[in-house]
Amino acid sequence: MAFFNDIGKKIGSAAGATAAKAKDLAETTKLNSQVSDQEKQIEKLYTEIGKKVFELDKENPESPVSELCGKVIAAQLIIAGLKQKIDDIKNAKESEETERL
C-alpha cells in the first residue's frame, strides 16, 4: 500500500506543478499582452508628436528636423502629383465613355 500512496503523492505533486505552470503561463501571456498594448500606444503617441513637430517646424530652416521635414514635403508633393495623374486617367476614361453614348 505504501507503493500506491507514493505513486498517488507523486501524481498529485506533478498535477499541482502542472497547474502552477499553466497559471504562470496564463499570467505571463496576459502581462505580455499588456506590454504590447502599451508599446502600441507609445508608437501612436510618437506619431502624433512627429506630426505636431512637423507642423511647427516645416518652414523653419534652423530646426534640427528641417531635413526630415523637407523629405516629408517632397513626398507630399509626389503624392499630389500621383493623385493628379489618377484623376486625369479617371476623367479621360469618363470622357471616353460619355462620347460613346
pLDDT of residue 11: 66
Q: Which residue from 81, 49, 51 is spatially nearest to 69, judged by alpha carbons? A: 51
Same domain, 40 and 72: no
Task: Work out the number of other CB atoms within 10 angstroms of the CB of residue 69.
Answer: 19
Alpha helices in the chain (DSSP H): 2-57, 66-100
C-alpha cell at 34: 499588456
Distances (CA, A) of 50 to 55, 65, 72, 74, 78: 9, 10, 11, 16, 20
pLDDT of residue 101: 64
Q: Which domain holds residue 46?
A: 1-57
pLDDT of residue 25: 93
Same domain, 69 and 93: yes
Global pTM value: 0.61
Domains contained in the chain, number:
2
Same domain, 70 and 48: no
Alpha-carbon gap, residue 24 to 30, rounded angstroms: 10
Alpha-carbon gap, residue 55 to 72, rounded angstroms: 11
Residue pLDDT, tens place only, 50-66: 999 999 999 999 999 99
pLDDT of residue 96: 75
Same domain, 2 and 39: yes
Same domain, 44 and 86: no
Same domain, 35 and 72: no
C-alpha cell at 23: 497559471
Residues of the chain with pLDDT under 70: 1-16, 100-101
